[in-house]
Amino acid sequence: GAVVSQHPSWVICKSGTSVKIECRSLDFQATTMFWYRQFPKQSLMLMATSNEGSKATYEQGVEKDKFLINHASLTLSTLTVTSAHPEDSSFYICSARDFHRGNTYEQYFGPGTRLTVT
């Protein structure tokens, strides 16, 4: 149980183009999903909190117009990197909370998406 998938697992795009990454909770409903970014040999940094049916909450320093988040259903959140540049190259990981488990703080993580911008 508590499986989270991401698609694609890796993507290479040209500078200036946009890329969409999907995060799905496969066997549970998730009112809240989180998007993280991880650089090589570093920890995970929270980018934004995605709430189903409402606007995402972005962490300080994260450009909301560049990293568009849509949480349209209880099982799907998407992150779109707009006008990507090489410095956006990173490992993007999503996580989800199980809606039916009440106040649990446990997050279940997807396998990550490696984005390379050339």
Partner 1 sequence: GQQLNQSPQSMFIQEGEDVSMNCTSSSIFNTWLWYKQDPGEGPVLLIALYKAGELTSNGRLTAQFGITRKDSFLNISASIPSDVGIYFCAGTYTSGTYKYIFGTGTRLKVLA
Q: Which residues bind partner 1 (CB under 8 A)?
A: 4, 6, 32, 34, 42-46, 49, 59-61, 91, 93, 95, 97, 104-112, 114
Give the residue with the Cβ less far from partner 1, 16 or 59. 59
Residue 11 has, within 13 A of its CA and on its CB side, a CA count of: 24
Give the residue with the Cβ less far from partner 1, 15 or 106. 106
Shortest Cβ distance from residue 14 to partner 1 (Å)?
23
**Strand-pair partners of 92:** 37, 113
Give the residue with the Cβ less far from partner 1, 13 or 62. 62
Shortest Cβ distance from residue 9 to partner 1 (Å)?
9
Shortest Cβ distance from residue 107 to partner 1 (Å)?
7
Q: 77: which 2 tokens?
A: 């959140």
Q: 112: which 2 tokens?
A: 């990550």
Give the residue with the Cβ less far from partner 1, 83 or 116. 116
Cα 112 from Cα 28, distance rounded (Å): 19
What is the number of other CB atoms lying within 10 angstroms of the CB of residue 100?
10
Q: 117: which 2 tokens?
A: 């911008």
Q: Which residue has the tokens 């149980």?
A: 1
Shortest Cβ distance from residue 2 to partner 1 (Å)?
8
